[in-house]
Chains A and B, each alone.
Chain A
Amino acid sequence: DSGVTQTPKHLITATGQRVTLRCSPRSGDLSVYWYQQSLDQGLQFLIQYYNGEERAKGNILERFSAQQFPDLHSELNLSSLELGDSALYFCASSGGDTIYFGEGSWLTVV
């Protein structure tokens, strides 16, 4: 167990819908990262937050947004969902360099 908690574990939704993925970082970690992993693909960096502020941005679509709340949990919002958004979404957290991943949220768009 990495200490990073993600919910939901699995989610099936229809095209055009909006979903929210939630992440609770390890106790004491200020940084939260979001990654997307499509089937048999690599880990695509989406966005990073540090202590509530956006710190780095990757190839995150405009339909996607994220935030980190004062209690340090983070949410990734995916809207106007398309079939191609089906993927495993990982949250990760760190207190320094070392980054630990959660179990991921499987999103299936039908």
Chain B
Amino acid sequence: GENVEQHPSTLSVQEGDSAVIKCTYSDSASNYFPWYKQELGKRPQLIIDIRSNVGEKKDQRIAVTLNKTAKHFSLHITETQPEDSAVYFCAAMDSSYKLIFGSGTRLLVRP
């Protein structure tokens, strides 16, 4: 089955700097890769996603890149703001439609 590894587990950046979170997946048949943001005690919220036929996708300050050959994908947040502080999860949907999550990255944006 699919296995998703995510790093770093914690990331602290200064406001205005960029943050990068990286994930790798194991199932080469996986074709959908969403990213979720979760604030403490709340539900995960989809912030961006990418499908296997696309290499990069951008939405304002957030971008995701996908390298199918290397089986890794990354989340890039530019011009970080304190409200970006949260836990971010990557995920991969495998060939049996299971959405498997990485272990999460706790992002702290220092004002």
A: residues with CB less than 8 A from B are 2, 31, 33, 35, 42-43, 45, 48, 50, 55-56, 58, 88, 90, 92, 97-104
Contacts and interface: CB of A to CB of B under 8 A. Distances in A.
Interface of B: 32, 34, 36, 41-46, 49, 51, 89, 93, 96-104
A48 B44 contact: no
A58 B98 contact: yes
A99 B99 contact: yes
Contact of A42 (B42, B43, B49, B101): B101
Contacts of A101: 36, 43-45
Given A42-B103, A42-B104, A97-B32, A2 B97 contact: no
A102 B96 CA distance: 22
Chain B interface, >50% SS class: strand
A99 B98 contact: no
B76 to A, nearest CB: 20
Given A43-B89, A90-B44, A97 B101 contact: no
Contact of B34 (A42, A58, A99): A99
A42 B97 contact: no
B32 A43 contact: no
A56 B49 contact: no
